[in-house]
Amino acid sequence: MAKAIREIYGEILAKYGQTNKDIVVLDADVSSSSRSVLFQNVCPDRFFNVGVAEANMVAMAAGFASVGKIPFINTFATFLSTIGLLGARIFGSYSELNMKFMGAYGGLSDAFDGPSHHSVEDIAIMRSLPNFRVYVASDETSTEWIVKNAIDSKGPMYVRLSRDVFPTLYSLGEKFEDGKGKVLRQGKDVTIIAAGIMAGFALEAAKTLAGEGIEARVVDMFTIKPLDTALILESAKTTGAIVTAEEHSVIGGLGGAVSEALVLGQAYVPVGFVGLDDTHAECGPYSELLAKYKLDAPAIAAKVRETVKKK
Amino acid sequence: MSLAPERKKHLDALCNKFRVDVLEALYGIQSGHPGGSLSVCEILTALYFEEMSVDAADPQKPDRDRLVLCKGHAAPMLYRVLAEKGFFPASEMKTLRRLNTRLQGHPSTTHTPGIDLSTGPLGTGLSAALGMALGLRLSGYKSKVYAILGDGDVNEGTVWEACMSATKFKADNLIAIHDWNRVQLDGRSNDIMPQGDMEAKFKAFGWRTLACDGHDLNALVDTIDKAKAYPDGRPVVILADTVKGKGVSFMEGQNTWHGKALGEADYKKAVAELSSSKAGE
């Protein structure tokens, strides 16, 4: 059984933390949830639990970054992108400090806690910040690359993680590149551009659609910013239709980013959005929640059928 | 240790000059914050000319002391002090708040040499100063971090989150100085948001507290020296008794001069007052 994204994250942070002494980790009293506790266990001197004080945590991280440390800032994605936003803007975005915002429990993955703890606007918020880079973990291997990239590459970043286990997309040792999406499956009729858990669901949908004679290309757009505009435009040209799929509001997230790229590239193809339809969800078991709010493989397949008809 | 009389005289005269130059820059652009800039003048002067280890020739020196102007709207005075320290020419003051300037409306690390942290939004500075202090300690540096708080700034809850955290993490290389003029944008602080017993509040959060006249350079230097000498793992706050708009009679204690541009008559009167001041003579 694959490990939960949060578990992988904690393990990777602990692994690199032991060799890179510049790494400091901050958490706001959710370290056993975010799994930053795994770093604390091996590097207690560089772990700072600030209590439930997210704005203070982010600003403290700015201080660490300004004296050469690499702060990893941990709390639930929704609190990080709201309470933490002021510090993200003035210190990360404006001052370009080397701060790593690690959004635990992205999307609806904190399912039972309900909409107060779901994070469905974080991508829209964080990608609007100049100088920020934004990534969405899509499986264990991409999570490791994202964390390694955050350590090696200077500048402010927001990373959306998850509480849950995601379908495995990559084999160990897979190479990733900043700003380059991954084509998971080739197809000529439509391109599904997905992020996070939806990338795995998109592959599942593509299998169903293949049985109906629709060949879908599937892209894992784990790098939301910088966005792989070249791949998006080439996909529009080659397949003639685009469907985006994300565990996020349909407003301002991956769908918005892809649409901006298409319009600016004058690639006027039919586009469909799979995402939360400008609404909050509710509490419940994760998979049932995803199904009810049309954030699963059948929902992606349905959106593809609807979109290719407009070609 | 108190300043030698000649040194005190020199620094007082410098402060007078800083006030004139700041008001000139604010008058020139018809924008900015005179009240808080005049209030913090001696605090910044004592720090940069007597207490802090900084080098304009090596502005990013890793083990330098740091200053965080939590009340970032007092940037003009910080700029004037940094110019005097050699970080950039004092003539740049006339570019304040203008297009293409290095002297932004609020302090910006990416624009201005000598600025250690971008500030402007209140409430974030002390937390960042704490992070700096802890980071410098991890690196093994003896550097001190100074955070200058303001009366509006301490309305923000994050300041008190930072206070709790500084005590938890035993940040004895962090020294906060409260530029305590008791006036903020909309009025007297005790009308806008009653401050209660400020000293007792900091003490309750585990801080050491000191107090002094925030316009007396001797008192400031003595008190900062004392704060630096505490060895026992606790952060220190200096409650510096100041006057908003200090040095210009019609601005003193007036919230209306928090962020108002000077008209020609006001400007001339202010400069005349400062020019006839006995400071430094």
Give the pLDDT band (50/70/90) at residue B278: low
B169–A48 CB contact, under 8 Å: yes
Structure confidence at residue B232 (pLDDT): 81
Please state the separation of Cα A212 from the chain's center in Å.
30
Instruction: Tell me which residues of chain A, numbers 235 to 274, contact chain B at a CB-CB cutoff of 8 Å.
Output: none
Query: Which residue from A50, A61, A90 is facing B118, i.e. has the nearest CB?
Result: A90
The average pLDDT across A206-214 equals: 98
How close, in Å, is residue B167 to chain A by CA atoms? Answer: 11
Structure confidence at residue B231 (pLDDT): 73
pLDDT tens sequence across A30-87: 999 999 999 999 999 999 999 999 999 999 999 999 999 999 999 999 999 999 999 9
Q: A54 catalytic, yes or no?
A: yes
Nearest to A150 by CA among A44, A23, A43: A23
How close, in Å, is residue B128 to chain A by CA atoms? Answer: 4
The average pLDDT across A97-105 equals: 98
Is A161:A100 a contact under the CB 8 Å cutoff? no
Structure confidence at residue B2 (pLDDT): 84
The one-letter code for the residue type at B132 is M
**Residues in chain B, how many?**
281
Query: Which residue from A66, A71, A87 is facing B124, i.e. has the nearest CB?
Result: A87
Residue A86 near chain B (CB below 8 Å) = yes
Is B276:B249 a contact under the CB 8 Å cutoff? no
Is B71:B108 a contact under the CB 8 Å cutoff? no
Does B280 have pLDDT greater than 80?
no
Rounded Cα distance, B105 and B101, in Å: 10
The average pLDDT across B72-90 equals: 98
The average pLDDT across B112-135 equals: 97
Residue B174 near chain A (CB below 8 Å) = no
User: B50 is in which domain, residue-wise?
Assistant: 5-279
Is A275:A136 a contact under the CB 8 Å cutoff? no
Backbone angles phi, psi at B231, to 5 degrees: -105, 5
Residue A116: is it exposed, middle or buried by C-beta count within 10 angstroms (0-12/13-18/19+)? exposed
Contacts of A75 in chain B (CB under 8 A): none
Average pLDDT, chain B: 95
Is A94:B118 a contact under the CB 8 Å cutoff? yes
* Percent of the residues in chain A that have a pLDDT greater than 70, as a whole number: 100
Does A160 have pLDDT greater than 70?
yes
B164–A51 CB contact, under 8 Å: yes
Does B279 have pLDDT greater than 70?
no
The one-letter code for the residue type at A235 is S
**Could you tell me which residues come within 8 angstroms of residue B141 by beta carbon, excluding any fewer than 6 positions away?**
B62, B63
Mean pLDDT is lowest, of A177-186, A293-302, B222-231, for: B222-231
Is A45:A36 a contact under the CB 8 Å cutoff? no
Does B132 have pLDDT greater than 90?
yes
**B125 to chain A: closest CA residue:** A59
How close, in Å, is residue B247 to chain A by CA atoms? Answer: 32
Does A287 have pLDDT greater than 70?
yes
| Fold category of A5-160 in CATH | Rossmann fold (3.40.50)
Structure confidence at residue B146 (pLDDT): 98
Does B62 have pLDDT greater than 60?
yes
Whether a cis peptide bond, with omega within 30° of 0, leads into A226 is: yes
Report in angstroms the alpha-carbon separations of A11 from A6, A8, A237.
9, 5, 41
With residues binned 3-state (H G I as helix, E B as strand, rest as coil), the percentages for chain A, rounded to 5, are 40, 20, 35
The average pLDDT across B214-222 equals: 98
Rounded Cα distance, A235 and A43, in Å: 45
**Could you tell me which residues come within 8 angstroms of residue B162 by beta carbon, excluding any fewer than 6 positions away?**
A56, A59, A60, B126, B127, B129, B130
The average pLDDT across A87-102 equals: 98
B162–A56 CB contact, under 8 Å: yes
Instruction: Tell me which residues of chain B, numbers 189 to 248, contact chain A at a CB-CB cutoff of 8 Å.
Output: none
Q: Where in chain A is the domain with CATH 3.40.50.970?
A: 5-160
Does B7 have pLDDT greater than 80?
yes
Does B281 have pLDDT greater than 60?
no
CATH number for the domain harbouring residue B85:
3.40.50.970
Number of domains in chain B: 1
B165–A45 CB contact, under 8 Å: no
Contacts of B135 in chain A (CB under 8 A): 24, 63-64, 66-69
pLDDT tens sequence across A175-193: 999 999 999 999 999 999 9
The average pLDDT across B99-105 equals: 97
**A59 to chain B: closest CA residue:** B128
- The angle subtended at Cα A204 by Cα A221 and Cα A9, nearest 5°, is 50
Contacts of A50 in chain B (CB under 8 A): 161, 165
Contacts of A130 in chain B (CB under 8 A): none
- Which CATH number is associated with domain A182-308? 3.40.50.920
The average pLDDT across A117-125 equals: 98
Structure confidence at residue B277 (pLDDT): 78
**A89 to chain B: closest CA residue:** B121
Give the pLDDT band (50/70/90) at residue B1: low
Size of interface A-B (CB pairs under 8 A): 108
Report the number of secondary-structure helices (H) and strands (E) in chain B. Answer: 10, 7
The average pLDDT across B207-236 equals: 96
**Could you tell me which residues come within 8 angstroms of residue B88 by beta carbon, excluding any fewer than 6 positions away?**
B82, B102, B112, B113, B114
Q: Where in chain A is the domain with CATH 3.40.50.920?
A: 182-308
The average pLDDT across A1-30 equals: 95
Rounded Cα distance, A160 and A136, in Å: 5
Does B114 have pLDDT greater than 90?
yes
A69–B136 CB contact, under 8 Å: no
Average pLDDT, chain A: 97
Is B131:A61 a contact under the CB 8 Å cutoff? yes
Catalytic residue among A7, A11, A54, A140: A54
Instruction: Tell me which residues of chain A, numbers 32 to 71, contact chain B at a CB-CB cutoff of 8 Å.
Output: 45-46, 48, 50-51, 53, 55-69, 71
The average pLDDT across B250-270 equals: 94
Angle, nearest 10°, between helix axes B125-138 and B157-168? 20
> How many CB atoms neighbour CB A239 within 10 A?
21
3-state helix/strand/coil string of B80-108? HHHHHCCCCCHHHHHHCCCCCCCCCCCCC
Rounded Cα distance, B60 and B79, in Å: 17
